[in-house]
Chain A
Amino acid sequence: MKIPAWRIWCLVIAIAVRAFVPSGYMLASPDETSSLPHIVICTANGAKQVKLDGDGQQAPGHSKGDSGVCPFSTPSMASVLLPPPMLPPKQPVRSWQVWTTPTSIIPGHTHAWLARAPRRRAPPRGPHTTAAFAHLHLHAGPLARQSGASRQRITTSRHGTHPMNTTVAVRRTLSFCVALCALAFLTPVLAQAQDYTVGALKISAPWARATPAGAQVAGGFMTIENTGKESDVLVGGTFTRSGRVEIHEMAVVNDIMKMHELPNGLEIKPGEKVTLKPGSYHVMFMELKQPLQQGDTVDGTLVFKKAGTVKVSYKVGTMGMKMQGHGAHGGKH
């Protein structure tokens, strides 16, 4: 038997190359010369590259915007934008979990999530992510290549593993019908939400969330529309169940809850409609005297710079309520 030596050596080299390069290895980009880990976040505006320093903080001067296209962002965007199908998908629903290297698990810096777009008229305050949906690629740099700890794992949701069958489809359709009926019943209730007018300002459906026992603060929400030609500013107010009222802005940026008072109030420009809602602007009731319970109606006032004071009643919804009044049934008024 004669086998040329070069064939064996070719085989050896091939296996050696395969053995030395761990699966999942990616070629480093030219600027990846430093040992700093970097992440690429696929945003709606294209890929954003962020370098991290040893503490996991964003390294200064290392972030690049629009550094390229994201090969996977289009399908994920579509999944966010398109309504869910009525029938269950044939494919099991999968959620991806990324196991990262030690340095890269720093909360608030290496994770990407649904970030809120900067609200209208909000002055720039720190890093707002403009993506409607972002997902994360971990570029396994030299670090992960050695450790091999950058692994991906698929967890399959139990609900998603059922094959398509008529029972599920029927159940879905039924639950959709039930939801529709519930909405139909709820609509008259929601329509009762009070509107208030003061000067050129129209205030729609003030509401608050029920509070847990012992909580000393609560948030008040509403929509304020300026139908006039002059700008006005919400500067404060009162709430019968709390010591005082502040105007706050809140946002979750990089999974960090950030909240601050608007010391100069919230401006409502002419022709504009500003919605105070969870995760955004809100009237904050400080020094709460007693908890707010679902179904309560609590009186208060709102004070505007030009339009003056207006009496309003807040309807108290559930603790986890996201939206009330006109926004709740998605209609535009």
Chain B
Amino acid sequence: MSMRSFLTTAAAAAVVIAAMTGLTLYFTGAFNSGTGYRSLVGGHFVMSTQDGRQLTDLDLKGKPFAIFFGFTQCPDVCPTTMLEVANIMNKLGPDADKMKFLFVSVDPERDTPAILKQYLASFDERIIGLVGTPEQTANIVRAYRVYFAKVPTKESYTINHTATVFLMDATGHLAKTISFSEDEKTKLAKIRGLLRDAPLASTH
């Protein structure tokens, strides 16, 4: 094999490798901005806060946030989660103000801004309570892919609902989730992680 044919083969090899690398990078999404594919969790909503102000997803841009869905007549999961959120906020100290915490009522029939205000004050007044009309509630629930269903009891009803806390980045995209059964230490670590990644998340 002569030097010439070696060079030809090597050049062909280089072209093939470059093309393949390019194709691979293209298909794996490496040319996309940062994380490539985005989760479908999250999106547009319009709700009222516990102070009666209107709040939309656009108002939340710029800071990461944790969002939980529940209702005030929920005996176990909701107070437990809110208590943990309040404990985590205490442990975060000043860092807690670098993000927002939201409690969304999935019981528009019974929960009002006034009830939410009173309820959330038992945990931490910085928690933003959101309540809306049945349509607004249905929209935010759909946006966050949350499950909820009314379950009748003898004289009233209760609501089965997703107990996940969604951690959203500063652009309103899902960063990670917290499951109800995880211990508080893990939950705190995940929220610290969210805050640590926050500047990165806001750049794209």
Contacts and interface: CB of A to CB of B under 8 A. Distances in A.
B171 interface: no
The residue among B29, B156, B158 with the most chain A CB atoms within 10 A of its own CB is B158
A256 to B, nearest CB: 5
Given A147-B28, A256-B147, A256-B160, A107 B76 contact: no
A33 interface: no
A65 interface: no
B140 interface: no
A155 interface: yes
A107 B37 contact: no
A111 B158 contact: no
Interface stretch (A191-199, A208-216, A325-333): A208-216
Interface in A256-305: 256-261, 263, 278-279, 282, 284, 286
A102 to B, nearest CB: 5
Contacts of B77: 252, 257
Interface in B112-160: 115-116, 118-123, 145-147, 151, 153-156, 158, 160
B48 interface: no
A278 B72 CA distance: 17
B164 interface: yes
A283 B88 CA distance: 29
B181 A286 contact: no
B76 A113 contact: no
B189 A95 contact: yes
A111 B179 contact: yes
A257 B74 contact: yes
A29 interface: no
Nearest to B27: A146
A13 to B, nearest CB: 10
A2 interface: yes
A282 B6 contact: no
A246 interface: yes
Contact of B79 (A22, A148, A215, A259): A215
A105 B24 CA distance: 24
A237 interface: no
B100 interface: no
Contacts of A82: none
Nearest to B118: A214
A5 interface: yes
B23 to A, nearest CB: 8
Q: What range describes how many residues of B lie at the interface?
A: 35 or more
B83 interface: yes
Contact of A15 (B9, B17, B80, B177): B17
Given A95-B186, A257-B163, A16 B72 contact: no
Nearest to A147: B37
Given A102-B37, A257-B180, A107 B162 contact: yes
A252 B180 contact: yes
B146 to A, nearest CB: 7
A185 interface: no
Contacts of B180: 113, 252, 255, 257
Contacts of B189: 95, 155, 157-158
Contact of A19 (B5, B17, B147, B160): B17
A108 B162 contact: yes
A88 B55 CA distance: 45
Given A213-B122, A261-B154, 18 more contacts: A8-B10, A16-B17, A19-B20, A99-B35, A107-B146, A107-B177, A146-B28, A212-B79, A213-B119, A213-B121, A215-B72, A248-B158, A252-B77, A255-B162, A319-B80, A319-B83, A320-B80, A320-B83
Interface of A: 1-5, 8-9, 11-12, 15-16, 19-20, 22, 56, 95, 97, 99-103, 105-108, 111, 113-115, 146-149, 155, 157-159, 209, 211-219, 244, 246, 248, 250, 252, 255-261, 263, 278-279, 282, 284, 286, 319-320
19 contacts: A8-B10, A9-B9, A9-B13, A15-B20, A22-B28, A101-B37, A102-B40, A107-B146, A108-B147, A111-B177, A113-B180, A146-B28, A213-B118, A216-B73, A219-B75, A255-B163, A259-B151, A278-B76, A279-B76
The 9 A-B pairs of least Cβ separation, nearest first, read: A148-B28, A212-B122, A214-B118, A114-B181, A149-B37, A214-B119, A261-B153, A257-B77, A113-B179
